[in-house]
């Protein structure tokens, strides 16, 4: 073989290798775009069945927690707030707990303001009353008294309340609930150890909520049927990740608008701050016959996720108890928990994603999902 032939052969080989690497790299990027669940390969998730049964109109889903100085107890799991609030009998500060001064948490849906003292403490997350799964270290509000907003919907002032136990696991909620992002508050994304002894890194910070359970962490099996939506980052202290609210496009009686959406397990009804020109009266419930169409993250083809309802037509399992029209600064929908009758819901705190999976329990007449990943346009 001549020197020229050898040189040409080497050049062609180098080109082939480079082309293969480039093609493989593009394939991997495309693969992650079309199959985002692959980022969870090799990870595990911890299943926690709801203590009070499947999602329903009648109750907030409950999860067992154990705080210092008290026996395990169920806490309401709320994606519409962030942080644990508890009355004194369910948390007695002890060694290792750090007092962090006075605090409060506002629940806009009811108008209740829970006031008390903040503590940094360990919280044991349990599968049931007897089985610990993981420990998180977060800030907890030990409630001393309850006050009310001026136009509260459901509130009674109370000193030294009892039987308070609520766990907020949502994101982008601090401005709405009158708190500041200063310390980890969400136990589901602040794990420090696993009861199994496995490294905590095996569980990705975040969760998947289904009609029957919450799963801490994500796996391919839990997420391959989902439409992923990339969230935009917001400023946060080190170690306290947070993201801006989930984008959506809504049409109310044909009037479209773009805003944000909150999936809120804490309420059974829907809040709607509608686009202009709908004729809906703020401070009242939407009348029967009002048509609501929600597109996630916006309207496009193929459509990542969508659902619809007509107020008053109760045959739709996604229909909330009512649709209350409110005045917010922008277009906004709080879906309430009936969303989970038709969808599985993902929040990936590490990667900055929400995900929507069609669970197959509801007719495609009312909605659907195209798996993949979408960026906000």
Note the pLDDT of residue 1: 47
Which residues touch 232 (CB under 8 Å, ≥6 apart)?
Answer: 243, 244, 352, 376
Categorise residue 212: left if φ over 0, alpha if ψ from -120 to 50, beta otherwise: alpha
What per-residue confidence (pLDDT) applies to 375?
76
Co-location of 199 and 291 in the same domain: no
Alpha-carbon span 239 to 258, nearest angstrom: 31
**Do 356 and 257 reside in the same domain of the chain?**
yes
What DSSP designation does 130 have? S
Task: Return the higher-pLDDT residue of 51 and 27.
Answer: 51
Residue 94 lies in a domain: yes
Alpha carbon separation from 145 to 83, 157, 168, 373 (Å, rounded)? 17, 8, 19, 44
Q: Do the Cβ atoms of 216 and 203 come closer than 8 Å? A: yes
pLDDT at 9 over 60: no
Domain assignment of residue 38, yes or no? no
Q: What is the mean pLDDT of residues 280-287?
A: 94
Is 228 within the bounds of a domain?
no
Q: CA 106, CA 87: separation in Å to the nearest integer?
A: 16
Instruction: Tell me the pLDDT of the chain averaged across its residues.
Output: 90
Predicted confidence at residue 370, as pLDDT, reads 97
What is the rounded distance in angstroms from the CA atom of residue 20 to the CA atom of residue 99? 58
Using the 3D structure, point to which of 164, 189, 213 is the last residue of a domain: 213
Report pLDDT for 173: 86
Question: Is the model's pLDDT at 330 over the cut of 50?
Answer: yes
pLDDT of amino acid 129 = 96
Instruction: Please name the residue ranges forming H helices in 203-314.
Output: 220-223
Cβ-Cβ contacts under 8 Å for 102 (sequence gap 6 or more)? 115, 116, 117, 118
Whether 197 and 252 share a structural domain? no
Whether residues 51 and 180 fall in one domain? yes
Distance (Å, whole) CA 289 – CA 280: 12
* Tokens found for residue 4: 């020229």
CB atoms inside a 10 Å sphere around CB 24: 11
225 part of a folded domain? no
Same domain, 321 and 368: yes
Output the pLDDT for position 178. Answer: 61
Does residue 100 or residue 241 have the better pLDDT? 100
| Same domain, residue pair 88 and 201 | yes
Q: How would residue 108 be classed by pLDDT, with cut points 50, 70 and 90?
A: confident
Q: What does the pLDDT average to over 62-84?
A: 97
166 with 293, same domain? no
Residue 145 sits in a domain whose CATH number is 2.40.70.10
Among all chains, which residue has been given the structure tokens 């099996």? 221
91 in a structural domain: yes
pLDDT band at 15 (very low <50, low <70, confident <90, very high): very low
Q: 374: which residues sit within 8 A by CB, 6+ positions away?
A: 227, 228, 229, 230, 297, 300, 304
* 303 within domain boundaries: yes
Local confidence band at 30 (pLDDT 50, 70, 90 cut-offs): very low
Model pLDDT for residues 202-231, shown as the tens digit of each residue: 999 999 999 999 999 999 999 999 999 999
Q: In terms of pLDDT, which residue wins out, 108 or 342?
A: 342
Retrieve residue 323's tokens: 């649709």
Domain boundary among 213, 238, 260: 213
Find out whether 198 and 192 touch, Cβ atoms under 8 Å: no
% of the chain residues with pLDDT over 70: 89
User: Quick check: 64 pLDDT over 70?
Assistant: yes
pLDDT of amino acid 19: 40
Q: Where is 174: in which H helix or E strand?
A: helix 174-177
**Tell me: the pLDDT tens digits for 284-321?**
999 999 999 999 999 999 999 999 999 999 999 999 99
The full DSSP string for 23-49 is HHHHHHHHHHHH-GGGGGTT---EEEE
Of 213, 233, 268, the domain-final residue: 213
- Which domain, by its residues, includes 365? 246-374
Q: State the total domains in the chain.
A: 2
pLDDT > 90 in the chain, percent = 80
Contact call for residues 63 and 214 (beta carbons, < 8 A):
yes
Judge whether residue 26 has pLDDT over 50: no
pLDDT in tens, 80-104: 999 999 999 999 999 999 999 999 9
Q: What are phi and psi of 131, to 5 degrees?
A: -120, 100
Residue 238 lies in a domain: no
Q: Kindly state whether residues 144 and 51 are assigned to the same domain.
A: yes
Q: Are residues 190 and 286 in the same domain?
A: no
Nearest by Cα to 56 from 376, 366, 341: 341
Split at pLDDT 50, 70, 90, the class of 242 is confident
> CA-based angle 37:213:299, to the nearest 5?
50
Indicate whether 241 belongs to any domain: no
Cα–Cα distance measured from residue 306 to residue 370, given in angstroms and rounded to the nearest whole number? 9
Query: What's the pLDDT score for residue 33?
Result: 60
Specify whether 250 is located in the same domain as 341. Answer: yes
Residues 350/241, Cβ–Cβ less than 8 Å: yes
CA dist 360 and 337 (Å) reads 17
* Domain co-membership, 67 together with 192: yes
Q: Are residues 263 and 209 in the same domain?
A: no
Question: Which residue shows structure tokens 């499947």?
Answer: 54
Q: How confident is the model at residue 179 (pLDDT cuts 50, 70, 90)?
A: low
* 150 — pLDDT class (breaks 50, 70, 90): confident
Look up the CATH number of the domain holding residue 340: 2.40.70
Q: Using pLDDT thresholds of 50, 70 and 90, give the confidence band for residue 377.
A: confident
């Amino acid at each position: 073989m001549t020197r020229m032939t050898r040189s040409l052969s080497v050049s062609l080989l180098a080109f082939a290798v480079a082309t293969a690497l480039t093609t493989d790299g593009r394939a991997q990027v495309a693969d992650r775009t079309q199959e985002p669940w692959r980022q969870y390969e090799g990870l595990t998730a911890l299943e926690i069945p709801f203590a009070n049964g499947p999602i329903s109109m009648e109750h907030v889903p409950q999860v067992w927690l154990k705080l210092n100085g008290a026996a395990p107890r169920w806490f309401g799991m709320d994606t519409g707030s962030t942080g644990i609030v508890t009355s004194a009998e369910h948390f007695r500060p002890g060694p290792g707990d750090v007092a962090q001064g006075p605090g409060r948490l506002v629940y806009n849906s009811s108008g209740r303001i829970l006031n008390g003292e903040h503590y940094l403490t360990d919280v044991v997350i349990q599968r049931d009353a007897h089985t610990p799964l993981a420990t998180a270290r977060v800030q907890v509000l030990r409630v001393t008294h309850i006050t009310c907003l001026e136009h509260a919907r459901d509130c009674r002032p109370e000193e030294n309340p009892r039987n308070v136990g609520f766990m907020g696991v949502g994101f982008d909620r601090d401005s709405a609930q009158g708190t500041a992002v200063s310390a980890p508050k969400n136990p589901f994304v602040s794990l420090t150890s696993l009861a199994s002894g496995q490294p905590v890194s095996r569980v990705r910070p975040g969760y998947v909520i289904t009609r029957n359970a919450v799963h801490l962490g994500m796996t391919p099996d839990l997420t391959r049927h989902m439409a992923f939506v990339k969230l935009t980052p917001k400023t946060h202290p080190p170690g306290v990740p947070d993201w801006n609210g989930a984008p959506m496009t809504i049409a109310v009686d044909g009037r479209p608008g773009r805003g944000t959406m909150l999936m809120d397990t804490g309420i059974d009804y829907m809040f709607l701050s509608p686009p202009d020109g709908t004729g809906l009266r703020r401070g009242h419930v939407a009348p029967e016959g009002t048509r609501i169409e929600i597109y996630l993250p916006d309207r496009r083809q193929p459509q990542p996720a969508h659902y619809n309802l007509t107020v008053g037509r109760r045959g739709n399992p996604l229909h909330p108890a009512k649709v209350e029209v409110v005045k917010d600064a922008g277009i906004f929908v709080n879906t309430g928990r009936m969303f989970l009758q038709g969808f599985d819901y993902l929040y990936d705190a590490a990667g900055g994603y929400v995900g929507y999976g069609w669970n197959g329990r509801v007719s495609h007449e009312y909605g659907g999902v195209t798996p993949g990943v979408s960026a906000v346009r």
